[in-house]
């Protein structure tokens, strides 16, 4: 039997547990945030926003805005509530500002330090260039007791959002499904939101909130066991995760093997996958939830 361990995310295992508590409304991590890929498509105008700390009444947001004359992201607004610029006691600079350089695509990160009130908007990998980035810091945001909801918003379906996730977790939603409804993982508070071309599109000053608290969020008891058996000269690796949440999904993968599969936990909280014709030696098997954790097991094939 291979050894089993839970792989640590960038914050470390203890911090991941805190994040899970924050999602359920019980506690907060020191820094909370979300991130996604954003792209201004042909004819884009308006803006795209990431939203955190939503309590049903107030929230914190960062909105990246397109210049309709060029179709490029040209500036941003940081604020609270329904598109209000700034917040009481805001420090560190203006709430509305232009960029020193323009771009059509970026990886957008928006986070808030609950201890210090610091708010950060980070735009990385501008137009696919890992050396190009923009960082903006503001202070003074206090929302007590605050909210546990996060999401995104937008003014036009000509801006695409993809790979939505909490900071330092696996991707929660890659929107890789048929065009149409945004899906059960989301609640549309106002405006419209759909899946189109493998991305999310928000329109009509939309506010779209992530509601799938159990979509891959670690309960702390999931277990992965992977075994390798040889029969008639061929090795088969079987991976099984137990104590999962019925109806939710998990992605199985094997290092060095292109075969992977998304499986659904059954009513007993179990999911499994098999690889045939596996090479001899130590194998690395992974089971990744949509947005919370990765488990690893290391069986050895004869």
Question: In the chain, what percentage of residues exceed pLDDT 70?
Answer: 86
Q: Which residues contact 56 (CB under 8 A, 6 or more apart)?
A: 147, 149
Q: Which residues contact 151 (CB under 8 A, 6 or more apart)?
A: 34, 50, 51, 54, 186, 207, 208, 209, 210
pLDDT of residue 244: 81
Where along the chain do its domains lie? Answer: 3-9+216-301, 25-210
Same fold, 3-9+216-301 and 25-210: no
pLDDT of residue 5: 28
pTM: 0.71
pLDDT of residue 292: 66
Q: Give the confidence band of 80 by pLDDT, cuts at 50, 70, 90.
A: very high
3-9+216-301: which CATH architecture? Sandwich (2.60)
In this structure, are residues 92 and 121 in contact, taking their beta carbons and an 8 Å threshold? no
Q: Give the confidence band of 220 by pLDDT, cuts at 50, 70, 90.
A: low
Give the whole-angstrom CA distance, residue 106 versus residue 212.
25
Give the whole-angstrom CA distance, residue 170 versus residue 292.
6
| Structural class in CATH, domain 25-210 | mainly beta
Q: Cα dist. 40→36, 67, 181, 258 in Å? A: 13, 10, 21, 32
Give the whole-angstrom CA distance, residue 159 versus residue 13.
35
Q: Cα dist. 45→72, 108, 279 in Å? A: 8, 18, 52
Q: Give the confidence band of 29 by pLDDT, cuts at 50, 70, 90.
A: low
SS3 89: coil
pLDDT per residue as tens digits for the range 102-157: 999 999 999 999 889 999 999 999 999 999 999 999 999 987 657 789 999 999 88
């Amino acid at each position: 039997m291979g050894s089993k361990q839970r792989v640590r995310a960038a914050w470390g295992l203890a911090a991941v547990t805190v994040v899970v508590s924050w999602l359920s409304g019980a506690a907060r991590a020191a820094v909370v945030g979300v991130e996604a890929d954003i792209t201004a498509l042909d004819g884009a105008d308006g803006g795209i926003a990431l939203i955190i700390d939503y309590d049903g009444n107030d929230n914190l947001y960062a909105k990246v805005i397109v210049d309709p004359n060029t179709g490029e992201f040209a500036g941003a607004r940081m604020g609270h509530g329904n598109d209000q610029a700034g917040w009481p006691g805001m420090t560190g600079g203006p709430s509305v500002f232009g960029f020193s350089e323009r771009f059509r695509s970026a990886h957008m990160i928006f986070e808030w330090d609950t201890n210090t009130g610091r708010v950060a908007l980070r735009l990385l990998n501008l137009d696919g260039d890992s050396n190009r980035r923009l960082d903006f810091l503001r202070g003074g945001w206090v929302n007590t007791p605050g909210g546990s909801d996060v999401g995104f918003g937008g003014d036009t379906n000509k801006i695409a959002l993809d790979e939505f996730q909490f900071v330092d977790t696996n991707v929660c939603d890659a929107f890789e499904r048929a065009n149409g409804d945004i899906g059960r993982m989301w609640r549309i508070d106002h405006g419209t939101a759909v899946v189109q071309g493998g991305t999310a599109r928000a329109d009509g000053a939309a506010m779209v909130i992530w509601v799938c608290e159990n979509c891959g969020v670690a309960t702390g008891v999931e277990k992965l066991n992977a075994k390798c058996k040889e029969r008639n000269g061929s090795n088969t690796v079987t991976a099984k995760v137990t104590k999962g949440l019925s109806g939710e999904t998990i992605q199985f993968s094997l290092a060095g093997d292109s075969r992977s599969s998304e499986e659904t936990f059954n009513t007993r909280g179990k999911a499994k996958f098999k690889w045939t014709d596996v090479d001899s030696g130590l194998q690395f098997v992974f089971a990744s939830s949509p947005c919370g954790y990765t488990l690893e097991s290391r069986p050895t094939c004869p």
